[in-house]
Amino acid sequence: MTPVDTAGTVQSDVPTAGTAQGDGPTAGTAQSDVDAACSRQGDAGLRDADPGGTGPRHTGTRKGVWTRGRVLAAASLLLGLLMLLHASIPNRIGNLGSLVETFLPWSGLFIPVLLAGALLRRSVLAAVALLLPAVVWLNLFGGLLTDKSHPGGDLTVVSHNVGADNPDVVGTARALVASGADVLALEELDPGARGTYERELATTYPHHTVLGTVGVWSRLPLSDTRPVDVEMDAGPLGDAKPADVKLEYNRGLRTTVATDHGPLAVYVAHLGSVRVNPRAGLSSGQRDAGARSLGQALAAEQNERVVLLGDLNGTLDDRAYAGITSRMRSAQEASGDGFGFSWPATSPVVRIDQILVRGVEPESSWVLPATGSDHLPVAARVSW
């Protein structure tokens, strides 16, 4: 029989759930009940402090969007400073400054990548930091995103590096005739192809002059043609060569075009090539020397109306062209549509073929369809 106390309550030898006796599952369940009770009391306290019960969680979230994404924010700031201070990057090591400036427009591609990272991280800090490179890039290149061309103009000029290895000289010449140019400048003329160009262009362009590997074809009379030194033979060895020998591979000339509005000085130049390799960076010494020499020739030019046409083997953002860009305006930047990339022809990523003007007004600037060359022809229309 089970003992019964005087109150009639059944006595049991089994420990109750709340006692310290027994360390089996029953005791563990009791402890869990205690923990749950404490947790409920804590939640009740939080609800008393914040009736909505969501204050602490939201506060943590707000702090998180300003603290996460620090690496992305740092990358954005570095990108912005790179674009903002590109002129301060030294050229002492592999012409690093010129290399950065050559591809500076493409730095904008990093902006959407960083923006996507900021969105994935849900980082307000990274998004705010991205404003610096975005504003700087738009300030540098935003104007090139719109069409600034105007109708009209008095003279159409075209420049084309026709390529010494051009497999379709006849087709290239006929495409240039179809461009409607009044003045046509050709660079990298191969001696073996010169006769073909002269024959194909003769009917449309009765006036022409060729010095070395550059030439001008014109509907209008030409005069006062002379070579322009672009430093392809600098140094004692170059100085020792006879003038007639150097003229064979001359890459710069100046001529005068007789227009209804007066004389127009036309310069044609093909500056030295540049090389990019992992060890030396940008090798551009010969090109830079040619740019300085060309800038000096333009500074000494007496005619108030001047057009420079040619393959300058670099973008005008490159500091090497300061002596030129300080005196001339880019027709593409002033009146073009887009960046006007011209090289390589199959998939152009930079504009190294340039048309610059002084004393005349650029009305429009554009890139012509591909020919047999590895460069695209570039064109502009100017007015007085």
pLDDT of residue 25: 46
Q: Higher model confidence: residue 69 or residue 279?
A: 69
- Residue 159 amino acid letter: S
pLDDT at 10 over 90: no
Q: Which region among 143-152, 296-305, 370-379 has the lowest average model confidence (pLDDT)? A: 143-152
8-state DSSP, 86? G
pLDDT (tens digit, 9 = 90+) per residue, 128-138?
A: 999 999 999 99
Distances (CA, A) of 8 to 1, 17, 162: 14, 21, 117
Q: What mean pLDDT is reported for the chain?
A: 85
- 0.85 exceeded by the pTM? no
pLDDT of residue 11: 45
For residue 258, what are its two tokens? 């007789």
pLDDT of residue 234: 61
pLDDT (tens digit, 9 = 90+) per residue, 25-49?
A: 444 444 555 455 445 554 544 444 4
pLDDT of residue 63: 64
Q: Which residue has the tokens 């060729």?
A: 210
% the chain with pLDDT above 70: 79
Distances (CA, A) of 345 to 112, 255, 311, 378: 27, 28, 13, 11
What is the Cα–Cα distance from 194 to 202, expressed in whole angstroms?
12
Most confident of 85-94, 159-168, 268-277: 159-168
pLDDT (tens digit, 9 = 90+) per residue, 170-185?
A: 999 999 999 999 999 9
For residue 25, what are its two tokens? 């599952």
Q: Higher model confidence: residue 144 or residue 205?
A: 205
pLDDT (tens digit, 9 = 90+) per residue, 87-111?
A: 889 887 778 888 888 889 999 999 9
Q: Higher model confidence: residue 188 or residue 64?
A: 188
β pairing state of 222-227 and 262-270: unpaired
**Beta-carbon count within 10 A of 321 CB:** 26
Rounded to 5 degrees, what are φ and ψ at 59?
Answer: -60, -40
pLDDT of residue 236: 52
For residue 107, what are its two tokens? 């730095």
Positive or negative, the Cα torsion across 21, 24, 26, 27? positive
